[in-house]
Amino acid sequence: MRQRRILAATAAAVLGAMALPVLWVPAAQAGTSVVVYTCGMAGNWQCPAVRPSEIGFGALWDIAGMRWTQWTGDSAYGAGTYWLGSGAGYRAEVALTDVTHHGSQRYFEDALITASGHRPVRLWYGSNHGAVGWWKA
């Protein structure tokens, strides 16, 4: 029993350590790269990332399994599964544009999510009456 707990704790630590570089960018790299904020409800200006595998827009509302085809200083394009919280997800493309800054950190402010057979979703990231996060445009 003790060996199973040790094995489980070791596996959790290894998996956690492997996931962090994918989701968050070290502060030194984040300051020089254009990022997208990936933790929509985690608090103000949380989780800057370059080419993240997932972007959380809010509670039970995100795009996961991202594969990026382009990431430059002006825009980023990729595709993933857009989840709406109802358990129903669909394949969608994401365009990140409108680079602005918070302090010295450059970030993509606008996101456009498109998919065949679905209405486009436009979002922007920033402060809205003091609350920071992703907002429908």
On the question of pLDDT at 119 being above 60, the answer is yes
Residue 83 has pLDDT above 60, yes or no: yes
- The domain spans of the chain are 24-136
What are the tokens at 8?
């489980």
Q: Which two tokens stand for residue 107?
A: 């970030």
130: pLDDT strictly greater than 90: no
> What is the pTM for the complete model shown?
0.75
Tokens standing for 123? 């979002």
Strands of 61-71's sheet, edge to edge? 54-58, 61-71, 76-83, 89-102, 105-115, 118-128, 131-136
Higher pLDDT, 16 or 137: 137
